[in-house]
Amino acid sequence: MAIRHVVMFQFVETATATQRQAVRDGLRALKARIPEIKAIQCNHDAGLQPTGNFDFCATVDFESINDYKVYQTHADHQQLIAEAIKPILKARAAVQFELE
């Protein structure tokens, strides 16, 4: 069962551009360090909606639920959450769904 893990973040207003960039670059860097990641696309909101959007989104694809769980608990992923994401996190929304 191929899975797409989708997560959105709203950052605190005081989050700097450098801190926001570190989230994106850190997530993209996980691809090379966690082989279970089949594909990852992530970026800041493009500003196409005047209000209401979250600030950032990542979509991460896995070939199985088990691969997703390896990612979820992987030390490098957990370190990125603790050091780059949590310090500037205001809100989070997530879904994991089965791909067609």
Q: How far is the CB of 8 from its own copies (least distance, A)?
A: 5
Q: Judged by CB under 8 A, does residue 12 bind its own copies?
A: no
11 binds its own copies, rule: CB under 8 A: no
* In the complex, least distance from residue 97 CB atom to its own copies, rounded to whole angstroms: 4
Is residue 89 part of the contact set for its own copies (CB under 8 A)? no
Residue 77 and residue 62 in contact, taking contact as beta carbons nearer than 8 Å: no
* Cβ-Cβ contacts under 8 Å for 8 (sequence gap 6 or more): 54, 56, 57, 92, 93, 94
**Does 82 help bind its own copies (rule: CB under 8 A)?**
no
The token pair at 26 is: 């850190």
